[in-house]
Amino acid sequence: MAKTGQYHPFEQAVMANEYFYPPIEPYETGLLRVDETHELYWEQCGNPSGEPVVFLHGGPGAGCSEHDRCFFDPGHFRIVLFDQRGSGRSKPVGDLSNNSMQHTAEDIEQLRETLGIDQWHVFGGSYGSTIGLFYAQEHPERCKSLVLRGIWLLREEEIEWWLYGIRMIQPELWEKFSGFIPADERGDLLQAYWKRLTGADRELALQAARHWTLYEVACCTLLPNEEFLGHFDDPDTSWAVARLEAHYFRNVKPDPDTLLLDRVERIRHIPAFAVHGRYDIVCAVKNLVDLAKAWPELETAISPDSGHSSHEKGITRELVAATKRIVETGSPCS
């Protein structure tokens, strides 16, 4: 057997987390033209005749990774992954035009119809939970179940926490994040970063993006994780994620602020499971509690030894257990 160091970093990460299914490759990939500007990368993995499930990545802007295929039994599921507008392998990367939750929900529908799928299970974490909830509320008849992680409802209190509140727990990381901005602009960090991320100075935009993404990613795991940090070594990836996140924080706000909670009535009949890390400081566990209060039928779990990332073993264990329950009973709920 080869030594661990001889494996691709992705394979090392999968083997280190025993709850993941083994790595797989897509059996089909494509680009979907959704408007005059945007073309979305998509792929299908697993069983072409299997139970359809769509994976919704976070960020916004992060795109899908090879790990994201490994939450599902490839013998049972027809696994659909795609990179949202401006993200990952979709084109153009980092583009903010026509980029909102409504656009993404419409893209999901166009992809579903293109692939000839009538209904599917919806699986999403972090911002993927946001768009998963929004999509289900727009198209409940298309959703067989929801599996959610690290709930993010895009409310003003959550954005304020991300920009300022995290300093109560990670003051050193916050000092680096805020310290990139001149002292006289730190009263509005979002606007200060937005100005740099969308300005004409490309080098300054890349520097701002690096500070933004390192701040977030370093907060994603309970313990420092170099493998996870390495995902954002590519300047273009950091640039796209930072631009899109700042865009959504600043420009794409639910109206009203509590929209995703107010519309839960539309989806209460859909079997749904959500897991949150107890020590998630990117998306506070209060978000899950608030959602569960609005949605009594939602089955929840709080992982006592996890932060935000889906790579945290406690989170992965709960997510894979939920997809196994779909295999066994058709529902992610126990």
Residues 135 and 105 sit within 8 Å (Cβ to Cβ): yes
| Model confidence pLDDT, tens digit, residues 129-139 | 999 999 999 99
65 is catalytic: no
What pLDDT, on a 0 to 100 scale, did the predictor assign at position 5? 41
- Could you say which of 308, 309, 310, 311 is catalytic? 308
Name the pTM for this structure. 0.94
Question: Using 50, 70 and 90 to split pLDDT, how confident is the model at 228?
Answer: low
pLDDT above 90: percentage of residues in the chain:
90
What pLDDT, on a 0 to 100 scale, did the predictor assign at position 17? 81
Segment 300-314 mean pLDDT? 96
- Could you say which of 38, 57, 68, 126 is catalytic? 126
Question: Distance between CA 329 and CA 299 in Å, rounded?
Answer: 15
280 is catalytic: yes
Question: Using 50, 70 and 90 to split pLDDT, how confident is the model at 225?
Answer: confident
Question: Distance between CA 323 and CA 144 in Å, rounded?
Answer: 12
Q: With residue 215 as reference, give the H or E element that holds it.
A: helix 202-218
- Could you say which of 68, 95, 107, 280 is catalytic? 280
The answer on pLDDT for 310 being more than 50 is: yes
Backbone phi, psi, residue 3, to 5°? -70, 155
308 is catalytic: yes
